[in-house]
Amino acid sequence: MNAETKKRLIEGGVDVEGALERMLGSETLLLSLLKKFVKDGNYEKWLISMDARDHEGAVEAAHALKGISGNLSITELYRLFSKQVEELRAGRWEEAQAMRPQIMEAYERATGAIRELET
């Protein structure tokens, strides 16, 4: 992985060193999984569920995104989804909804950095 790629990913919120440790040093695997993350449908499901106030769907999608972002070391997104899942499971819908702008910003930053790798 060249320095520019690594820099872009770090700016996007990816702990590249942590992710590479999880991938046993395989840059190819990491980049492949990051590109799959961008195409994963859970973010759209999360948006739709949050709009519809579908508690079950929101928990399911947020939990999936928490796991994926954790496995890929997208640390800020992982932290935010972890907190939101906690809020949702505790029945604090308004608190969970209030996190939406932060989550969307972190998601766009991460996926934007990953999409730049394809150009």
CA–CA separation, 11 and 8 (whole Å): 5
- Domain regions of the chain by residue span: 3-116
pLDDT score recorded for residue 119: 58
Query: Span 62-83, mean pLDDT?
Result: 97
Contacts of residue 62, Cβ cutoff 8 Å, sequence gap at least 6:
46, 81, 84, 85, 88, 96
pLDDT score recorded for residue 1: 82
Task: Read off the pLDDT of residues 8-29 as tens digits, 9 standing for 90 and up.
Answer: 999 999 999 999 999 999 999 9
pLDDT score recorded for residue 117: 85
The fold of the 3-116 domain, in CATH, is Four Helix Bundle (Hemerythrin (Met), subunit A) (1.20.120)
